Structure 1
């Protein structure tokens, strides 16, 4: 028998033979931030490579603020109720999202150890809107330093309680407020991660999504560290949300719509929102935005047929001041 050499008797780690670039590719496929943070404790090599991951998914379990009210009712609900009471009270004080710098384990703090993020998806624990039972709203908004566009689709799964135009405007304002609050919550993340080229902020219930791409991210960073900025469009950030500029909305509505395998949508409504002076004058401009929001795979694809039918309906133009 021959004695074993040291190299023969000691187990080897298969990862030692893999180049860093391949391990980083594996980390990018994992993408989940919490899993990657656990990977840092595996070895010194993993600890040094994990922060270089450039494609991340952060699922936020909960958002805690030391300034949260003890009240069970969200002031956003109070805001919505005020609209039903009076058309003059559209912009009623609502419960602001907490300041991210004061949240324990906020996205900003969790991501601070990652240096080279290029694509980031944030998934919030729940949707923002608490509407009547049976009401369904789906929306997609794109931002730079402020709103660039928003597409909203709403309908009732049961008998439509038909609030008419007022109800559709409530849906639209609710979605815009939710989008602007999400955008504001991510401003610090955008400023800290200079390599970021795409940011998506969605929710676990797939209600709405905020998207920022390269041009919008750069535009947002140019605003600097100021919490309030006054320009040609007025105040950009206020009350822990991004101010929605004056917008033009093209609304299409169908009282009853049947799609797919006999699925019935009551009060189906499609709204395309763009800032005044930023296009949107032509109905043809709606097409790309709408199909970009509801023409992809996954849950959005389910609404593709309804969207195509609504696009053939007559559109009604509405304008709304900044709020």
Structure 2
């Protein structure tokens, strides 16, 4: 009989291969290969799970479109009124299948990456094919840091800038009232998306006690929520009380935040060959958590995307934080 070469491999080496494979769907299929594979697959300590979207429900309401119409036309305090007075607004409409069923057998997993459906890509606030919206959040028991990078246009530079677009002496420009309101609505919508993902991650942590690192991103690579070893340990220490508090919201409550915003009408990125128009960087931290401005040292700006684009995003964040002019605001808990 023809020899099975896999029999020459030790269990540790097979597990190393499974960890490199990572994808939960592929790992599950390996169960049917052999009894030996079936006995080892669920001992993998690294898992990537891409969750398919649910079928479209024509009756589903678009919360973000409601927010745009209401908030741009009315004072900003409407948002808190809207959240407080509408019970349905506090409930997250689940547009994807729960990962619990797929992941329940992976009890040894230490590193997990969950990819959610992109849900139409952008939040509906950024328009145009060349527009950009990226965000990254770090959570423990609550939000630790949050960064949003957006632009009306993000393209490779094909020719030198015109004299009117020279950015060399730009220290930041003034936003109009309409632009500022739009940025606040954009920030709120990203915070809602992040807090909903964090709520899902807490549910996963309840059932996977070996987990040390977890990321929740989306298929469109727009934003991601990260929790490292220290954040996971923090959330485990208080997870019982948090679940009892948050069960009615189906998302993590956003605490009082300090917000800093930088804006540039034109931003040239010579290191990576890109140019951004209508570029905005927003950084948020909990109130009393120190001065905003050290994101480039803490890895806050590790936005998702292709490798060449990720470097451009980091360059953009570094350059914008050098500007002398910025907006400082506070945001109440919701």
Q: TM-score range by the shorter chain?
A: 0.7 to 0.9
- Partner residue of 1:129? 123
Q: Does 1:45 align with 2:33?
A: no
Q: Does 1:118 align with 2:110?
A: yes
1:254-307 CA distances to partner (integer Å, 9 max, x unpaired)? 12223348744222111111001222x253x23324664259972321223322
Contact 1:140 1:293 in 2 (8 A): yes
The structure-2 alpha-carbon separation of the partners of 1:147 and 1:236, relative to structure 1 and needing over 3 Å to count, comes to farther
Structure 2 residue matching 1:191: 3-state secondary structure: helix
Q: Does 1:54 align with 2:54?
A: no
Within the candidate set 60, 75, 82, 2:70 is matched to 82
Structure 1 residue matching 2:123: 3-state secondary structure: coil
- Partner residue of 1:205? 220
Q: Tell me, in whole angstroms, the C-alpha distance in 2 between the residues paired with 1:90 and 1:266.
A: 28
Structure 2 residue matching 1:293: 3-state secondary structure: coil
Q: Does 1:322 align with 2:318?
A: no
Q: Tell me, in whole angstroms, the C-alpha distance in 2 between the residues paired with 1:296 and 1:76.
A: 23
Q: Bigger shift: 257-266 or 70-79?
A: 257-266
Q: Using the TM superposition, give the Cα deviation of residue 115 of structure 1 relative to its aligned residue in structure 2, in angstroms.
A: 1.2
- Partner residue of 1:215? 230
Structure 2 residue matching 1:120: 3-state secondary structure: strand
Q: Does 1:268 align with 2:283?
A: no
Contact 1:142 1:211 in 2 (8 A): yes
Q: Tell me, in whole angstroms, the C-alpha distance in 2 between the residues paired with 1:295 and 1:179.
A: 14
Q: Using the TM superposition, give the Cα deviation of residue 85 of structure 1 relative to its aligned residue in structure 2, in angstroms.
A: 2.1
Unaligned runs of 5+ in 2: 84-88, 155-174
Structure 1 residue matching 2:265: 3-state secondary structure: strand
Q: How many residues align?
A: 299
Q: Using the TM superposition, give the Cα deviation of residue 45 of structure 1 relative to its aligned residue in structure 2, in angstroms.
A: 0.6
Q: Using the TM superposition, give the Cα deviation of residue 99 of structure 1 relative to its aligned residue in structure 2, in angstroms.
A: 6.6
TM-score, length-scaled by structure 2: 0.81
- Partner residue of 2:296? 287
Q: Tell me, in whole angstroms, the C-alpha distance in 2 between the residues paired with 1:307 and 1:214.
A: 26
The structure-2 alpha-carbon separation of the partners of 1:301 and 1:225, relative to structure 1 and needing over 3 Å to count, comes to same
Q: Tell me, in whole angstroms, the C-alpha distance in 1 between the residues paired with 2:229 and 2:318.
A: 29
The structure-2 alpha-carbon separation of the partners of 1:289 and 1:82, relative to structure 1 and needing over 3 Å to count, comes to farther
Q: Does 1:138 align with 2:148?
A: no
Q: Using the TM superposition, give the Cα deviation of residue 35 of structure 1 relative to its aligned residue in structure 2, in angstroms.
A: 0.3
Q: Bigger shift: 106-115 or 131-140?
A: 131-140
1:27-54 CA distances to partner (integer Å, 9 max, x unpaired)? 0111000000000111111001000000
Q: Tell me, in whole angstroms, the C-alpha distance in 2 between the residues paired with 1:82 and 1:288.
A: 38
RMSD: 2.7
- Partner residue of 1:7? none
Higher relative contact order (CA 8 A, sep 6+): 2
1:1-323 to structure 2, matched below 5 A, reads: 10-63=1-54, 70-86=58-74, 87-91=76-80, 92-93=82-83, 94=89, 96-98=91-93, 106-126=98-118, 127=121, 129-134=123-128, 135-157=131-153, 163-226=178-241, 228-229=243-244, 238-260=248-270, 263-279=274-290, 281=291, 283=293, 285-289=294-298, 292-294=301-303, 298=307, 299-314=309-324, 315-323=326-334
Question: Could you say which structure has the larger radius of gyration?
Answer: 1
